[in-house]
Copies of this chain bind each other. A is one copy, B any other.
Amino acid sequence: MPGQVPFLKDVPRYDVLRAEAQLYPELDPSACYAFLHLLKTGDQLLSLDAEFLGHLGTRQGRFNLLLILGHCAQKLPAAADLAECTGVTRATITGLLDGLEKDGLVERRDDPSDRRLVRVGLTPRGEAFLDRVRPVYFRWFARLLEPLAEPERQLLVELLQKVQQQMGVLAEELRQPAVLN
């Protein structure tokens, strides 16, 4: 399972990119190098996470939902809340809940005061599953970050945050239909 997106499996060496930049004046080699590494790392990490959770008998989407429900404890969020805080559509939540409910890990309950809402809570079986799997997952990604010392982790986060912020800028531009000209 190398990746979910047809990417360069191997990022080119930096000197290859420098040579490439002779051909294309628009190509910034150091930006390209960092960009490809970000893309590749993200893609691989997503895949590896999915594979690991598969070994644990669950899936990315469902497990993240369970984590959130475990965190909410007794508050019983509505389906729309789950969509909001996971960042997927309500339609996707419906599908995830169908699977979790069929496995008996989760329960849908009507809200007596607003009959549009469907509130969601863990069943005892869901809680047991979470108690069993959560520590394994925590230990797993702790190992993943093991090669990075504390200050390196902090530095990595800061660099990623800068990229995230710039992604926000570019995303906004993309969705604005060229206001200025």
Chain B, Cβ-Cβ closest to A134: B24
Nearest-neighbour CB distance to chain B for A36, whole angstroms, equals: 9
Contact partners of A87 in chain B: CB under 8 A: 2-3, 6-9
Complex-state Cα separation, A49 to B42, whole angstroms: 12
B174 x A55 contact (CB < 8 A): yes
Given contacts A28-B145, A142-B31, is CB(A6)–CB(B134) below 8 Å? Answer: no
Size range of the chain A interface in the assembly = 35 or more
B42 x A45 contact (CB < 8 A): yes
Residues of A79-94 contacting chain B, CB below 8 A: 84-88, 92-93
Contact partners of A64 in chain B: CB under 8 A: 5-8
Chain B, Cβ-Cβ closest to A1: B171
Contact partners of A61 in chain B: CB under 8 A: 5-6
Nearest-neighbour CB distance to chain B for A163, whole angstroms, equals: 6
A143 x B157 contact (CB < 8 A): no
Binding site for B on A (CB under 8 A): 2-3, 5-10, 24, 26-28, 30-35, 37-46, 48-49, 51-52, 55, 60-61, 64-65, 68, 84-88, 92-93, 96, 134-135, 138-148, 150, 152-157, 159-167, 170-171, 174
**Complex A-B: 19 CB contacts under 8 Å:** A3-B88, A5-B64, A6-B65, A6-B92, A9-B86, A26-B138, A27-B138, A28-B138, A30-B153, A32-B141, A33-B157, A34-B148, A37-B156, A39-B42, A42-B45, A42-B46, A44-B164, A147-B166, A156-B159
